[in-house]
Amino acid sequence: MTETLSLDSICAPSEDVVAREIEGELIIVPLASGIGDMEDELYTLNETGKAIWGKLDGARTLAQIADELAQEYDAPVDAIARDVNGLVSELVQRKMVVVQ
């Protein structure tokens, strides 16, 4: 599944998870069985992950997301693109994000 992911991919959160922000933390709550690795777990994203998650809207490509974040954080786009690709690959693998 991760093999098909590229910076041209457009991704969105799966309908089988809900993201909630509590006390400034982004928490991903799996709804359906088979999401994540183990039972009885929640998932959190760090600050970079949170910024990326917020842009996974099913409209932007991963490259566009990386460009936007590079401008917002005044950081090299290549490094940001690696972060975007790394996180989204992991989320796709965990079935928390779907490639459209």
Which residues of this chain interact with another protein, rule CB under 8 A?
18-20, 22-23, 25, 27-29, 31-33, 36-46, 48-49, 52, 82-83, 86-87, 90-91, 94
Residue 72 or 90: the one with the smaller Cβ distance to another protein is: 90
Least Å distance, CB 88 to another protein, is: 10
The closest alpha carbon to 87, from 57, 60, 56, 64, belongs to 56
Q: Give me the residues paired with residue 97 across strands.
A: 13
The 10 Å Cβ neighbour count of residue 62 is 24
Residue 5 or 43: the one with the smaller Cβ distance to another protein is: 43
Residue 20 or 59: the one with the smaller Cβ distance to another protein is: 20
Q: Copy the structure tokens of residue 42.
A: 């929640």
CA distance 55 to 3: 21
Least Å distance, CB 41 to another protein, is: 5
Residue 52 or 62: the one with the smaller Cβ distance to another protein is: 52
Least Å distance, CB 11 to another protein, is: 14
In whole angstroms, what separates CA 11 from the centre of its chain?
8
CA distance 74 to 69: 8
